[in-house]
Amino acid sequence: MSAVAEVTRIGIVPVVVIDDPGRAHALAEALLAGGIGCAEFTLRTPAGIAALRAAAAVPGFLAGAGTVLTVDQAKAAADAGAAFAVSPGYDPAVAGAVAGHGVTMIPGVATPTEVQRAFGDGFAHVKVFPAGLLGGPAYLDALAAPFREVAFLPSGGVAPDDVGPYLRRPHVFAVSGSWMVPRAAIADGDFDLISTRSRAAAEARDAARAGS
């Protein structure tokens, strides 16, 4: 199964900001226990790459890199074992570098122009950021009308109650957010909280897919 197909199956992409890579293995296990088998490890901290590498070694867990802004970061993410990479915006050079290393790229977009450029370059799965501020599910409906072959990953301003409204839309392949993985909870080793929040998110996902 391809990485994007696996992300679609999982349906939820936790956005991880981590300060201690030694917490990454237990974090991945906590997410798996809650029914979420992937995460985006952002490169916003110096620990990002090491945490990504540790999570990628957890059996059954799909580890991705987030906030990939440069060609050098693209290579580092690939070397660390990233199955996919996400960026907040669309830079053809960075997206091409990620793909060139054999890693699935999910570039960020915010406007129809960016969607069209990314799709023209071969990226049919894109992250919409910041989805909440841009208009939420209604904004994605507007984007989906002309871009019928593009699937969206809303991120930024996504709250627990948004899981259902987003995932009930056929043009949304997954949702992305950080509420399951609070930075402080990771630092404190509160993995029970992370599993509990993940389980609630997974239940919302399953309900949305069941049409309830």
- Which is the catalytic residue, given 6, 29, 40, 75? 40
- 176-212 burial, b at 16+ Cβ within 10 Å, e below that, comes to bbbbbbeeebbeeeebebbbebbbbbbebbeebeeee
Helices (runs of H) and strands (runs of E) counted in the chain: 11, 9
Exactly one of 6, 29, 127, 203 is catalytic; name it. 127
Residue 160, phi then psi, degrees to nearest 5: -50, -40
Q: Report the interhelical angle of 48-56 vs 71-79 (nearest 10°).
A: 30
At residue 1, the pLDDT reads: 72
Secondary structure class of 123 (helix, strand, coil): coil
- Whether 40 sits among the annotated catalytic residues: the reply is yes
pLDDT in tens, the chain (212 residues): 799 999 999 999 999 999 999 999 999 999 999 999 999 999 999 999 999 999 999 999 999 999 999 999 999 999 999 999 999 999 999 999 999 999 999 999 999 999 999 999 999 999 999 999 999 999 999 999 999 999 999 999 999 999 999 999 999 999 999 999 999 999 999 999 999 999 999 999 999 999 86
Check if 127 is active-site: yes
- Coil/strand/helix, residue 172: strand
The domains found in the chain, sorted by start residue, are 3-207 (3.20.20.70)
